[in-house]
Structure formats: structure tokens, C-alpha cells
Amino acid sequence: MKTLDDLGPRICIMGPSNSGKSTLAEAIARKRSLAVVHLDQFYHLPNTDWQPRPQAEFVALHDNAIVADSWVIDGNYSQCLPQRLDRATGLILLDIATATSLLRYVRRSWFEAGRVGALEGGQDSVKWLMIQHIAVRTRDNRRRYRAMFDGIALPKILLPGTRAIDHFYRMEGLER
């Protein structure tokens, strides 16, 4: 298995909603002294209830972030994925069970104020549309991400499940 050192200075972290992308990005950023970019914070307007920014504004923020020499970026946002992967030196794909994603979504919405990757000035709440997204769309997204992952030539690490993620944290000396 590849190690964090194999992934270089520009790392993309992808995976289903509530799979731990932001937490892992923060841990890697601390260990490797990288800038961390949470794409949810670029996509949504601060001080709102997760209201999307205008598309052109999101793309400009994204494209400005990826020109840096080093970073760790968490999030999927496939409309910007080609240019992100063109700049990336490594990729991590998290793949956790849908039930785990749902549980984490409810837990973070109700009990984790100020969580890593939260929207500035926003307040998480359980929303039917998000539950539907996780329960229905995540299966198709997981298949799509895995096919994309398999076809990418970058150095990459697949973490298929919470045990694999926990093992990666231990092996790399990462702290949540």
C-alpha cells in the first residue's frame, strides 16, 4: 500500500458525504504543513443554511486554490474535478457504508457544533434532501468514484471502510 509520502504535495481527498474527508484533510495538513481547502466552504455561502454560491464564483475560488504549490483538498464537486486532478500529485478515496454516512450526518448535525469543515456562520441541521442524497445517490456516486479511482494514474490510496481509515490514521501517525 502506498503511504502519505507517496502522494506528494497536492492531495485530493474524495468520498461519500460524511465519510471523514474534512477530518482527514485537517490531519494531513497538520502533519505535512499543507494548506487545507474544504470545497464545501467554497461551494456554499458563509452565514447561510448551506446556500450555494453562484457557479462562476465557486469555480473561481476552486481554480485559484489549486494553483498553489501545495495543498490538501477535500470534496468531490465533479464539475471542477478535471482541473483539480491535473494539478494533484496524489488521491485518497474514502469509501464507507451508506448507513455509516447517514449516522455520521445525523450525529454531526445534532451534536458537533464547530466541526472540522463546517460552514462559517452556518448551523448544521438534519435535512430531508441530504438524507435522500446520502441514502439514494451515494450508491451511484460510490460506483462512479471507484471507476474514476481505478482509471487514474496518480499515486493513490483507497480506504474502503472505517477500519481501513482508522488503520491509515495509525500507520501515518495522524491525529484527528
Checking if the pLDDT of 115 tops 80, the result is no
* Count of structural domains, the chain: 1
pLDDT 10s digits, 49-69 = 889 999 999 999 999 999 999
**Whole-angstrom distance, CA of residue 149 vs CA of residue 7:** 14
Domain that holds residue 52: 4-172
Q: The CATH number of the domain where 161 resides is what?
A: 3.40.50.300
Q: What letter represents residue 61's amino acid?
A: L
Q: Report the pLDDT averaged over residues 88-96.
A: 97
- Alpha helix (H) residue ranges in the chain: 21-32, 39-43, 55-66, 81-87, 98-111, 128-132, 138-151, 162-172
Q: Which of 142, 120, 145 is nearest to 42 (CA)?
A: 120
Task: Judge contact between 85 and 152, C-beta under 8 A.
Answer: yes
Rg (CA), the chain: 15
Three cell numbers at 65? 486554490
pLDDT 10s digits, 123-173 = 777 888 888 988 888 888 889 999 999 999 999 999 999 999 999 999 999
Q: What letter represents residue 47's amino acid?
A: N
Task: Judge contact between 140 and 146, C-beta under 8 A.
Answer: no
Q: What pLDDT score was predicted for residue 138?
A: 83
